[in-house]
Chain A
């Protein structure tokens, strides 16, 4: 019987800053036809780090996650996972494919894209069955319990609410006990209660995470380090998230804050705001 590799803990483990990068992105660029979506992106993420990837709509966040999941080959640059170059072509090697797919998981922005099995149980069991694990049922029940969908195990996933679907997707990914979790706007379709639950849940996972969002108030809850994609699709910030939040000029340059007219009592003026919206 395979032992579950991690459990829900608080606080999350501190990342080892001298450890070798688990994800290493070197000069990555990408285009869709004539449209540039990523320009010369370089950064490294070490084991245990919780990183937030910020950027306005269309800045290239989702594309970058798909490159980091080996689904899209970058038009320029390289991406390494634990020192090994990853491209869709290299992932045709069965051993590398199996290891990478079980260790690096991507939660898509639209949970419907990930759900296709006849029941929630089968959905969560899909990965462990592919790995031919012996304790599939135990894993399924463990992760269903962790995300709070145990009561839905026999239901078709298509009949669940948006928040419940998101939880099923998370359980399906975590059932493989990945080392890296990539999350694409995980709170975009969630109500406030589910968002709070997700923030707590992700904060308690002892796992490397890279989470995209354009919700500035949530960002510090999802990670301590921020990467920011600018409107020119280049990386314009890589550092502590608190330093980013204190830099209004940078936030404005990334189109993450806005300026509008408003009133304080009888005084009307304009200044930059951080109003989050989905």
Chain B
């Protein structure tokens, strides 16, 4: 338990530092330190982090390049800083989750443990549902689904997840209220 809380403290300090440092060199040094800390898992950690942020960062980067071109300024320093920072924060988070028990780390607060429990249970349900959506499309497809079919399947899944999230959030807040979590 003590070790998990130490990891939590280190993680929060590292996140704060990563948001305060603006020099890309130091952000790169931070990323290198995180990957060194991951040891043999470094390559896997970096791959997962890159895949996670790829779509978001590409969109933001392209938008910024467009804006910089419009305003006739150089985008590269900012782009480097932005992408390194997001990658560093993502790697840090993945490493922290892999190395520590979140329930033990947050056991100092009953409320935080409740919130974590709710988030964790919802994520497990959604992970299973996501797998079922993926497998169902695969099961029904006699040949590789076309772009339109994949788009429709993704849209249906997203719609289902949003609806279930709203329903689950309502249920959770009602359950917490029923158990006296909110003092109103």
Contact = CB atoms under 8 A, between A and B. Distances in A.
**Do chains A and B stick together as partners?**
yes
Nearest to B142: A130
Interface string B122-141: 00000001001101111111
Interface in A111-165: 112-118, 126-127, 130-131, 158
A105 B137 CA distance: 12
B155 interface: yes
B132 A110 contact: yes
B159 interface: yes
B160 interface: yes
B136 A114 contact: yes
B14 interface: no
A97 B136 contact: no
Q: How many residues of A sit at the interface, in one of the four size bands?
A: 20 to 34
Contact of A116 (B132, B142, B156): B156
A112 B128 CA distance: 13
B153 interface: yes
B21 to A, nearest CB: 37
Contacts of B149: 116, 126
Contact of A113 (B129, B141, B155): B129
B136 A113 contact: yes
Nearest to A110: B132
A101 B156 contact: no
Interface in A83-111: 94, 97-98, 101-102, 105-106, 108-110
A131 B160 CA distance: 28
Contacts of A127: 140, 142
B11 to A, nearest CB: 24
B152 interface: yes
B167 interface: no
Contacts of A173: 140
15 contacts: A71-B139, A98-B142, A98-B143, A101-B141, A112-B160, A113-B129, A113-B136, A114-B140, A115-B156, A116-B155, A116-B157, A117-B152, A130-B141, A158-B159, A176-B142
Interface of A: 66, 69, 71-72, 94, 97-98, 101-102, 105-106, 108-110, 112-118, 126-127, 130-131, 158, 172-173, 176
Interface of B: 129, 132-133, 135-143, 149, 152-153, 155-157, 159-160
